[in-house]
C-alpha cells in the first residue's frame, strides 16, 4: 500500500488486535480494503465496522438492490476497492452486466426492473444533489417505505465514507483491479 503499511497480526498493539478479532467475529471472513485504515484508530474502527456490518448484511433492502447502490457510490467516488469487490457481488446478486458496465462508464443504465431504477435514481440524487426531490421522496416512500429509505441513506453514507478513506489512503484492490478512470480535480 502506498500510504499505509500492511500490518501483520503480530505487529498490532492490544487495541488493534481487539479490533481485528472483533471484525472477524461477525459476518466478515477477512481483513480487507478499508479495514486496514481503521487500525489507525481502533475506537473508530470498532464503531464503523458495526455500521458497515449493518449496512451490508442487515438492512431490509435485498442484496441485489443494496449492491446496486454500493456500486453507484463506488463509481461516484472512483473507489477501486469498492468497485472491484461490489461489482462482482452485484453481478452475483442479479444486477446485469449491462447495468454494471453502464455505471462504470458513468452513463445511465437502461433498466428492466423498476426497483433497480428507483434505487439508482435515489442513490444518484443523494450523491449528486445532496438530497432528493419531493416527488422522488414520495415515490420512494410509496415503493420502499420510509424505513428502507432511511437504510438506503445509511448505505450511501457509509460507503461514501469508506470510499473517501480508500481514496485518501490509496488502498488498492486485492487483485489490482481499477475502476475506469475519471479525471480528478486538483
Q: How far apart are CA 32 and CA 54, in angstroms?
A: 17
Residue 176 has pLDDT above 90, yes or no: no
Q: Which of 26, 134, 123 is nearest to 65 (CA)?
A: 123
Task: Say what the pLDDT of residue 42 is.
Answer: 97
Tell me how far CA of residue 54 lies from CA of 47, 92, 105, 160, in angstroms.
11, 20, 29, 15
pLDDT at 132: 98
What digits encode the pLDDT tens for the residues 151-173?
999 999 999 999 999 999 988 87
Alpha helices in the chain (DSSP H): 14-24, 35-38, 42-57, 63-77, 80-92, 97-104, 114-129, 134-143, 146-168
Contact (CB, 8 A) for 127 and 155: no
What is the pLDDT at residue 185? 47
- State if pTM tops 0.75: yes
Over the stretch 103-151, which tens digit does the pLDDT of each residue have? 999 999 999 999 999 999 999 999 999 999 999 999 999 999 999 999 9
Ramachandran category for residue 13: left, alpha or beta (phi over 0 → left; psi -120 to 50 → alpha): beta
CA–CA separation, 148 and 151 (whole Å): 5
At residue 182 the predicted structure's pLDDT band, cuts being 50, 70 and 90, is low
- CB-CB neighbours of 6 under 10 Å: 9
Amino acid at each position: 500500500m502506498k500510504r499505509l503499511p500492511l500490518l501483520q497480526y503480530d505487529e498490532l498493539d492490544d487495541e488493534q488486535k481487539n479490533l481485528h478479532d472483533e471484525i472477524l467475529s461477525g459476518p466478515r471472513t477477512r481483513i480487507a480494503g478499508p479495514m486496514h485504515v481503521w487500525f489507525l484508530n481502533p475506537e473508530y474502527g470498532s464503531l464503523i465496522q458495526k455500521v458497515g456490518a449493518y449496512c451490508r448484511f442487515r438492512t431490509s433492502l435485498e442484496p441485489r438492490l443494496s449492491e446496486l447502490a454500493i456500486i453507484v457510490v463506488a463509481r461516484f467516488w472512483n473507489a477501486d476497492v469498492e468497485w472491484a469487490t461490489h461489482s462482482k457481488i452485484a453481478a452475483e446478486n442479479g444486477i446485469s452486466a449491462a447495468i454494471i458496465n453502464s455505471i462504470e462508464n458513468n452513463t445511465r443504465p437502461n433498466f428492466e426492473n423498476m426497483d433497480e431504477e428507483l434505487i439508482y435514481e435515489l442513490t444518484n440524487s443523494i450523491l449528486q444533489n445532496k438530497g432528493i426531490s419531493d416527488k422522488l421522496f414520495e415515490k420512494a416512500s410509496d415503493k420502499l417505505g420510509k424505513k428502507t429509505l432511511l437504510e438506503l441513506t445509511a448505505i450511501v453514507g457509509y460507503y461514501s465514507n469508506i470510499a473517501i478513506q480508500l481514496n485518501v489512503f490509496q488502498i488498492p484492490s486485492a487483485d489490482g483491479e481499477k475502476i475506469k478512470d475519471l479525471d480528478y480535480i486538483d
